[in-house]
Structure 1
Amino acid sequence: MTLSRLKKMKMAEEKIVCLTAYDATMGYWLDQAGVDVILVGDTLGMVVQGHQTTLPVTLQEMVYHTQMVQRGNQHAWCVADFPFMSDITIEKACESAAMLMKEGHANMVKLEGGSPRTLSIIERLSELGVPVCGHLGLLPQSVEKNGYRRAGKDEASAKILLENAIALEKAGAEMLVLECVPDYLAGDISRATSIPVIGIGSGGESDGQVLVLTDILGTSVGGVPPFAKNYLVGAGSIQQAIQNYVDEVRSKKFPG
């Protein structure tokens, strides 16, 4: 998978399938099921390490888990998260990207928010040839300040998110994740940008879908979030559950 192919999928209105993974085994099985994009998310802090938030995850841990995933993955585009405070300056962001790509073998890095600081970082990374994925809506790394709540629910905040998405693309972002925004807003942002827009908990109007792997397998501590679905029910195997998710995203059955 390449960025060019992902952009062609958007233009052709082919749904892009994304899932998280944290080790070689799941990297392999996601790849075998035809997942287009594997996200090595800092969600590993919660689903692998047992923390209450993603904040304790370190850059070296992100590199380590990305390495493992890429040993199992052969074809999917691999995106690795910048963990909390690993992009506080342009210089730090460049160092973090170098580690995630040179040591972790990620194809792309992802960072949260749409502030002027974030735009400056994306511009610099883009100049250096680093593919960057943005992240708007609910921002897990800002949970202590903003909590876990849907974003863009009113007209004013929705307008800001749309403007931020356009600004991210202009700064050089090549992909965007939208977390927990209204369906219509995800559609507006997808249509207003030329980059692939991947939704999570944001309805079916975006260019693709991403979920946390443990959510589609029903093994997340605390249960599956309301926007996800346990695909292990009736599947018979983990491999079949992953395949069922891929098929439902492609056919637009999920999220429905």
Structure 2
Amino acid sequence: MSVHATKRRLAPADIQALKGERPIVSLTAYTTPIAKLLDPHVDFMLVGDSLGMVLYGLESTVGVTMDMMIAHGQAVMRGSNRACVVVDMPFGAYQESKELAFRSAARILKETGCSAVKLEGGAEMAETVAFLTSRGIPVLGHVGLMPQLINTTGGYRSLGRSEKEVEKIRRDAKAIDDAGAFAIVIEGTVEPVAREITGQVRAPTIGIGASPACDGQVLVVDDVLGVFTDFKPRFVKHFANLAPLMSEAFAAYAQEVRDRSFPGPEHTFQVKKPTA
């Protein structure tokens, strides 16, 4: 039976069971209206810390806070009832210790009602992932390019072009897999390496700038819609180009306000004439 046939919300275990069955579909979501639109079509929605750049205009994800993630996680949960919802743990909420990671993750699950959290990191975070999963917190791992480490890696670039990088990504993926992550995002990693890792780990891999051979794919929803136009990475495809349409709508609204054609009589509340 397809997981889509069930009426309950998909769980991390359902996502995990899709490895080898069919590709897993995921997009980011940050708001209730978008979550409502995505819910029938995706297996899981990721409330990504990419919201810092997409919604708040930050230069990186490093400035994103727990309060921001929780507020948007709550919004996405209100707009969905079928897809699994995973919320990113922001920078500083889990790196210090596995105990801090547990407290942060527990707060996210309690206050949003989401099904799982995501954290970035490889071998150095394996103990933390194992600590969380053994205590009832499903974890989506994230290896390869890790945006929260942008200050130490020196920029956004694809990884796996040297044997040293390849070995690190392999080691990271295996460590997170062995630690019990229900799935692993592979970001910004050259295609052959991502393909190889997908065949080696038990957990399904979710590619973003990785390989079509990954067990699933995720993109930032604003990129898919062609709304976020600050830059377009190679791995992004605009499935729509809404930015020009939105700009035209705003211009038309501004013109009608200025020439007083909006609001018209049909957009205002009139006093009813008393009946005789």
Do they fold alike, i.e. is TM over 0.5? yes
| Deviation (angstroms), 1:162 | 1.1
Asked whether the 8 Å contact 1:176–1:196 carries over to 2, the reply is: yes
Secondary structure of 1:54 counterpart? coil
1:159 Cα deviation (Å)? 2.1
**Counterpart residue identity of residue 146, structure 2:** L
1:153-172 matches, cutoff 5 A: 153-172=161-180
Question: C-alpha displacement at 1:233, in angstroms?
Answer: 4.1
Alpha-carbon distance in structure 1 between the residues aligned to 2:121 and 2:160: 13
Which runs of structure 2 are paired with 1:1-256 in the superposition (5 Å)?
A: 1-12=10-21, 14-32=22-40, 34-87=41-94, 88-116=96-124, 118-146=125-153, 147-233=155-241
Q: Deviations over 1:5-30 (max 9, x none)?
A: 22332122x11011001011111111
- Contact 1:40–1:80 at 8 Å: present in 2 too? yes
**Matched-pair identity in %:** 38
The answer for the alignment partner of 1:245 in structure 2 is none
Aligned mates of 1:50, 1:140 — CA distance in 2: 15
Question: Does the aligned pair in 2 maintain the 1:184–1:205 contact within 8 Å?
Answer: no
Normalised TM-score (structure 1): 0.87
User: What are the Cα deviations for residues 101-133 of structure 1, in whole angstroms up to 9, with x where unaligned?
Assistant: 0101121111111133x1111111011111001
How many residues get paired? 233
SS of 1:204's partner is: coil
Tell me, in whole angstroms, the C-alpha distance in 2 between the residues paired with 1:111 and 1:5. 20
- TM-score normalised by structure 2 residue count: 0.81
Q: Does the 8 Å contact 1:218/1:224 carry over to 2?
A: no
**Does the aligned pair in 1 maintain the 2:122–2:171 contact within 8 Å?**
no
Gaps of 5+ in 2: 1-9, 247-276
User: Which of the pair has the greater relative contact order for Cα pairs under 8 Å at 6+ separation?
Assistant: 1
Deviation track 1:153-206 (CA, whole Å, cap 9, x = no partner) reads 122321221121111111121110000101111111111111110000112110
**Structure 2 counterpart SS, 1:75:** coil
Q: Unaligned 5+ residue runs, structure 1?
A: 239-256
- Contact 1:134–1:175 under 8 Å retained in 2: yes
